[in-house]
Chains A and B, each alone.
Chain A
């Protein structure tokens, strides 16, 4: 062997890659021989192989997801394919369980024939709340989210006023748990962990199921891994995948999948209490796929955006200026 054996050399070698992927008999034999002759480099061989295989499976996973989308599109009956094509945009956010301080922003009394009082829970901008509801169910409120529920909580009906919330429901078939969205849609639990989202500043509402299933108004029953995005105005809707799990909610990961720039802006503003200004409007043409943790600094996230989308930034106090040439593809 002419070149010394380093991981760097190996991961750039055609024949080493071919042997890891088991594509070429000669390569496999050659590298088996090399391993025998250089037992002192065993760790290097193993690490390099691990790396190649991990990168291979990244490609494989990416292909599977693309192919699944393609298959789904082919499965749709022709009539449905004409419905609006909202791209799958997913915003998931979650709270570290330790942030348990909840703020009761108010108790409203309604002087109707049967007086019902409501408890309103809001999470302030930049903070997320994990809340235990009176029936023992858990709610996660993303930053800038408000919900309200009747007191006493005998009819388990929650109203989402603004924002995004996830629920892990203690199931009780005699007392169904439901969430009403600002558009009037009623999401009824069938034994479940699910998420609902409706921001005033975004034109769509979203529902996603992590476990079990829900009845999403009159639209359809959603099972784990499924979601819906519905236009508030026209009421048109489309099924989309939902990839978050309850663990994701508690782990504090935020991930955007093919999100509009408006959504990214909203998430960053809400999470970090910032104002974001676009110095070049072209930047808003980018659709964003990224993932970060709540504990990440804003600089780190902006660094990633710079790396991926060429968006440059400057921070002045609480204001972030973004600029870039945009994403024309």
Chain B
């Protein structure tokens, strides 16, 4: 994500361009989401806060022309909003600027994670297309399992479906995925790694 991009989109927003504003939203969503989840591990709250922060920007866009450090301003607004929503919650932890210098850090920054994520883009597209053909239910399980990172027990509690069924559905989904990848003529080396799944 380059700074000129953000500036251009931000300025578009200030001038009331809905398309550029939504593009800004899409561009920053992954970063704010991963950043937010490290401050407050509550997916729902983080999602709502991103929504509210951007709605605030849009409604106040006429008064935001003076902002120069766009990215910094966006992060700060988002963090403040998140902290005020979270109130006194003891779930809070402070990443980045609150970390002690010199402390050994095994959890990489959310930026590192995003860079890492971007390196898998090619496969991502194929998988996204394949997953989007699965039933809504399987898509939901995959999302809860691999996006929200919930355990089978958590998913069972949330959806009222037995753990065994969820396991089977996900297993089935990954099987289908492999078939889809084969049909899509995906390069053998990547395909074979996925194929290993089903041995």
* Binary contact readout A50-78 vs B (1 if CB under 8 angstroms, 0 otherwise): 11111111111111100110111011000
B88 at the binding interface (Cβ < 8 Å): no
A325 at the binding interface (Cβ < 8 Å): no
Stretch at the interface among A17-25, A126-134, A141-149, A195-203: A17-25
B133 at the binding interface (Cβ < 8 Å): yes
- Closest beta carbon of chain A to B162's beta carbon, Å: 16
Chain B positions 84-136 with a Cβ under 8 Å from a chain A Cβ: 106-108, 113, 116-117, 120, 123-124, 127-129, 131-136
**Residues B142 and A70 in contact, CB atoms below 8 Å apart:** no
> B25, B30, B131, B183: which contacts A58 (Cβ < 8 A)?
B131
Task: Please give, as numbers and ranges, the residues of chain B lying within 8 Å of A61 by CB-CB distance.
Answer: 128
Residue of B nearest to A15 (CB): B151
**Residues B131 and A25 in contact, CB atoms below 8 Å apart:** no
Chain B: residues with Cβ within 8 Å of the partner, total of: 57
Cα of A6 to Cα of B50 in the assembled complex, Å: 38
Cα of A52 to Cα of B117 in the assembled complex, Å: 10
> B55, B123, B149: which contacts A71 (Cβ < 8 A)?
B55
Cα of A66 to Cα of B198 in the assembled complex, Å: 32
**Residues B176 and A17 in contact, CB atoms below 8 Å apart:** no
Chain B positions 132-154 with a Cβ under 8 Å from a chain A Cβ: 132-136, 139, 142-143, 145-149, 151-152
Query: Given A7-B193, A23-B149, A60-B29, 5 more contacts at CB 8 Å?
Result: A12-B171, A55-B131, A58-B146, A64-B30, A75-B55
Chain B interface residues toward A at CB < 8 A: 18-19, 22, 25-26, 29-30, 33, 37, 41, 47, 50-51, 54-55, 58, 106-108, 113, 116-117, 120, 123-124, 127-129, 131-136, 139, 142-143, 145-149, 151-152, 167, 170-171, 174, 176, 183, 190, 193-194, 196-199
